[in-house]
Amino acid sequence: MTTRQHDASVYEQAQASERFQDLKRRFRAWTFPMTAAFLAWYLLYVVLSGWARDFMGTKVLGNINVALIFGFLQFVSTFGIAWAYSRHMDKKIDPIADEIRHEIEGRTE
Amino acid sequence: MSSQTLSTILFLVFVAATLGITFWASRQTKTAADYYAGGRSFSGAQNGLAIGGDYMSAASFLGIAGIIALSGYDGFLYSIGFLVAWLVALLLVAELMRNSGKFTMADVLAFRMSPRPVRTAAGVSTIVVSIFYLLAQMVGAGALVTLLLGVTSETGKALTIVGVGVLMIIYVVVGGMKGTTWVQIVKAVLLMGGATLVTLLVLGKYGFNLSSLLGDAAAKSGKGDAFLNAGGKYATEAQGLAGKLDLISLGLALVLGTAGLPHILIRFYTVPTAKDARKSVLWGIGIIGSFYLLTLVLGFGAAALVDSKAMDKAGNTAAPLLAKKIGEEIFGAVGGTVLLAIIAAVAFATILAVVAGLTLASSSSFAHDLYAHVFKRGNVTDKEEVLVARISAFVIGAFSIGLGILAQGQNVAFLVALAFAVAASGNLPAILYSLFWKDFNTAGATSAIYGGLVSALVLVVFSPVVSGSPTALFPDADFSWFPLSNPGLLSIPIGFLAGWIGTRLSKEHNAAKYAEIEVRALTGVGAEKAAEH
């Protein structure tokens, strides 16, 4: 198994390093609030579908009502968040993660 | 030529092509990594298509279009939960899991915990979730053949289930993950192609004006504007508060369940790196999202153009009948026959791809988690483990054929929602805690999985879907006391809470292993590499 090649202390050292803590912060500071946000946004949609039917039935454009637009916006937000996540990872996470990985692999191989 | 004959021919072409691929894949399947994870050599785009192929079941293709056709807007509402769920998988699970696991969901949990108890729990949960889902698909196949091919005899339906089961066993036993993945890719392409074609024809008829299609659908439905709003199927006004809470419960299970479905999780292992896992989920979201937008048009199109009396009670024939109708209108009788045949064949391909994925997930977990690590404590060769995986795929396949025949004609559609609820209540808390919570330990993991699994099952047994209502599994009995048909609203918090309490009650903590999984998950150090062929 690949795990055995590395001494456990290598991981503890890496975990304690400033750079790894920074990486972890950057990852969590983006994904945790974003998860809370899209879950809340989705629940708002479901709750309104249950309790605010008059509002959801308001016609906006021809036969297209608020309920449909709200539904489409869930698609838009899902595609948008997926895209934004991928950009965030490419720019802010991958470079640091790669650096730390190369360093650990260089030290143990 | 009748559309039944044509659709049988098209379906046989699909079967021949996928069997060809399966035998080709078997020659490239040598190691355990090949069998379980397709050698981890699929590209992000390929795996993204396979994710779509694995996820878009006949229930979501025919089922959602049918709900929209008969009840209107609620089918769309239902589909949105299935889509948003992928953000949980993308942001919190896919990449970290690819980096820290190997073949199954349990690999991630066993990383820093006592392997035997957590693998047992995760293995049991994987098999339960997959078999529920599998059973719903098998019974659905029997019903579908009646609707699409006009087979009405009990023997005919049973033979269909046997046929589907045998093909599924061949795909999995012979082709392993590589064969199964290709079946899913081919199916995803066919499904998207067929759905896009019918959608374009329907939209074309309405001059690409969605509003006029909706207006026509609302008028033909006889329900007017209410047809375009929530409340046609879920949380109807007559159901009152319980119905509304049930809607929230369903929504929660859908949105949190996907990232805990074992057959979805193992797809992240089929790509070379975490970055490819990210790409595959991006592709998956694009495909699945576009697909649900197509079903919106298919559903409302069927409501507008097909006489609802011609459809079956659940609306599963809405999309096929729409294909026939629009084909006839635009290309004449032959066009209708051809389009109906295409959509029917695609529906069967859809069932096959999904059941193969489920059989693979459950048999992999049995062989890798229960046999190799629990019974044999890790003392097995690659070869022996793959052999056991193949045998268990055969046994699980045969078992689900038997159950599928026994459950024929029963109302088992609730099993899909139940599978999502169990995944959200047991598997998801265990996965998230294990990736993100330093103190999490063995007692926490087993408590979360068993707590979520048992509470979801118990609540469903005493819910109106099992007894005490005319549509229940046992309509003549009444032992129900839980008012919601979906357990998620209670069982998901119970799963998370059980995981927390279990952790707090135990003193076990392995700081070194936590350091290792945290560093590995985020940086990809020591992640399993792609096979070199």
Nearest to A37 by CA among A83, A74, A92, A88: A74
CB B300 within 8 A of CB B201: no
Among A6, A35, A94, select the one facing B92 at the smallest CB separation.
Answer: A35
Structure tokens at B334: 């032959």
Asked if residue B479 has pLDDT above 80, the reply is yes
- Residue B144: predicted pLDDT: 79
For the ranges A75-84, B283-292, B504-513, the lowest mean pLDDT is seen at B504-513
* CB atoms A2 and B516 under 8 Å: no
Contacts of B281 in chain A (CB under 8 A): 82
Asked if A22 is an interface residue toward chain B (Cβ–Cβ < 8 A), one would say no
Asked if residue A3 has pLDDT above 50, the reply is no
Best of B514, B516, B525, B529 to disrupt the A interface by mutation (most A CBs within 10 Å)? B525
* CB atoms A104 and B86 under 8 Å: no
Q: How far apart, in whole angstroms, are the C-alpha atoms of residue B89 and residue A78?
A: 12
Average pLDDT of every residue of chain B: 92
Average pLDDT of every residue of chain A: 91
Asked if residue B533 has pLDDT above 70, the reply is no
Among B77, B83, B282, select the one facing A49 at the smallest CB separation.
Answer: B77
Looking at residue B528, the DSSP 8-state letter turns out to be P
Asked if residue B244 has pLDDT above 70, the reply is yes
Give A44-91 as a 3 state SS string. Answer: HHHHHHHHCHHHHCCEEECCEEHHHHHHHHHHHHHHHHHHHHHHHHHH
Asked if residue B414 has pLDDT above 90, the reply is no
| φ, ψ of residue A64 in degrees (nearest 5) | -80, 115
Instruction: Tell the burial category of A91 from Cβ atoms under 10 Å away from its Cβ (0-12, 13-18, 19+).
Output: exposed
* CB atoms B528 and A83 under 8 Å: no
Asked if A50 is an interface residue toward chain B (Cβ–Cβ < 8 A), one would say yes
Q: Using one digit for the tens of pLDDT, what is the confidence trace for B247-297?
A: 999 999 999 999 999 999 999 999 999 999 999 999 999 999 999 999 999
* CB atoms A15 and B81 under 8 Å: no
Structure tokens at B283: 């592709």
Contacts of B286 in chain A (CB under 8 A): 79
| φ, ψ of residue B351 in degrees (nearest 5) | -60, -45
- Residue B473: predicted pLDDT: 85
**∠ Cα B474 B248 B223 (to 5°):** 80
pLDDT band with cut points at 50, 70 and 90 for residue A1: very low
Asked if residue B420 has pLDDT above 90, the reply is yes
- Residue A108: predicted pLDDT: 66
* CB atoms A20 and B519 under 8 Å: yes
Residue with tokens 């975490």: B274
Asked if A64 is an interface residue toward chain B (Cβ–Cβ < 8 A), one would say yes
Asked if A46 is an interface residue toward chain B (Cβ–Cβ < 8 A), one would say yes
CB B227 within 8 A of CB B72: yes
State whether ipTM is beyond 0.90. yes
Contacts of A42 in chain B (CB under 8 A): 80-81, 84, 251, 255
**Sequence-ordered list of residues with C-beta below 8 angstroms from that of B163, at least 6 positions apart, any chain:** none
Asked if residue A12 has pLDDT above 80, the reply is yes
Q: How far apart, in whole angstroms, are the C-alpha atoms of residue B484 and residue B242?
A: 6
Asked if A18 is an interface residue toward chain B (Cβ–Cβ < 8 A), one would say no
List B528's β-bridge partners, or say none.
Answer: none
Among A39, A67, A85, select the one facing B255 at the smallest CB separation.
Answer: A39
Asked if residue A2 has pLDDT above 50, the reply is no
**Sequence-ordered list of residues with C-beta below 8 angstroms from that of A80, at least 6 positions apart, any chain:** none
Instruction: Decide the pairing of beta strands A64-65 and A59-61.
Output: antiparallel
Contacts of A79 in chain B (CB under 8 A): 285-286, 289
DSSP string spanning B335-373? HHHHHHHHHHHHHHHHHHHHHHHHHHHHHHHIIIIIIII
- Residue B532: predicted pLDDT: 67
**Residue of chain B minimizing CA distance to A21:** B519
DSSP string spanning B132-161? HHHHHHHHHHHHHHHHHH---SHHHHHHHH
- Residue B49: predicted pLDDT: 97
Q: Using one digit for the tens of pLDDT, what is the confidence trace for B91-144?
A: 999 999 999 999 999 999 999 999 999 999 999 999 999 999 998 888 888 777
List B474's β-bridge partners, or say none.
Answer: B467
Among A50, A67, A81, select the one facing B248 at the smallest CB separation.
Answer: A50
Best of A48, A49, A76, A109 to disrupt the B interface by mutation (most B CBs within 10 Å)? A49
- Residue A7: predicted pLDDT: 57
* CB atoms B229 and A56 under 8 Å: yes
Asked if A70 is an interface residue toward chain B (Cβ–Cβ < 8 A), one would say no
- Residue B69: predicted pLDDT: 94
pLDDT band with cut points at 50, 70 and 90 for residue B60: confident
Q: Using one digit for the tens of pLDDT, what is the confidence trace for B345-355?
A: 898 889 899 99
Indicate the length of chain B as a whole number.
533
CB pairs under 8 A between A and B: 166
Q: How far apart, in whole angstroms, are the C-alpha atoms of residue B249 and residue B238?
A: 18
**Residue of chain A minimizing CA distance to B517:** A11
Looking at residue B517, the DSSP 8-state letter turns out to be H
Q: How far apart, in whole angstroms, are the C-alpha atoms of residue B430 and residue B436?
A: 10
Nearest to B426 by CA among B251, B264, B259, B249: B259
Nearest to B148 by CA among B426, B491, B156: B156
**Sequence-ordered list of residues with C-beta below 8 angstroms from that of B250, at least 6 positions apart, any chain:** B78, B81, B234, B417, B485, B486, B488
Q: Using one digit for the tens of pLDDT, what is the confidence trace for B320-330?
A: 999 999 999 99
Contacts of B279 in chain A (CB under 8 A): 86
Residue with tokens 């091919």: B149
Looking at residue B474, the DSSP 8-state letter turns out to be B
Contacts of A61 in chain B (CB under 8 A): 211
Looking at residue B278, the DSSP 8-state letter turns out to be H
Residue B155 Cα, gap to closest chain A Cα (Å): 43
Residue with tokens 């290309």: B331
- Residue B413: predicted pLDDT: 74
Residue B274 Cα, gap to closest chain A Cα (Å): 10
pLDDT band with cut points at 50, 70 and 90 for residue B62: confident
- Residue B246: predicted pLDDT: 93
Strand locations in B86-148 (E): none
Contacts of B86 in chain A (CB under 8 A): 78, 82
Largest Cα separation within chain B, whole Å, is: 73
- Residue B496: predicted pLDDT: 98
Mean pLDDT score, B492-517? 95
Q: How far apart, in whole angstroms, are the C-alpha atoms of residue B508 and residue B418?
A: 32
Residue A5 Cα, gap to closest chain B Cα (Å): 9
**Residue of chain A minimizing CA distance to B378:** A1
pTM of the model: 0.94
Residue B410 Cα, gap to closest chain A Cα (Å): 29
Mean pLDDT score, A46-55? 95
Asked if residue B303 has pLDDT above 50, the reply is yes
Among B210, B289, B518, select the one facing A78 at the smallest CB separation.
Answer: B289
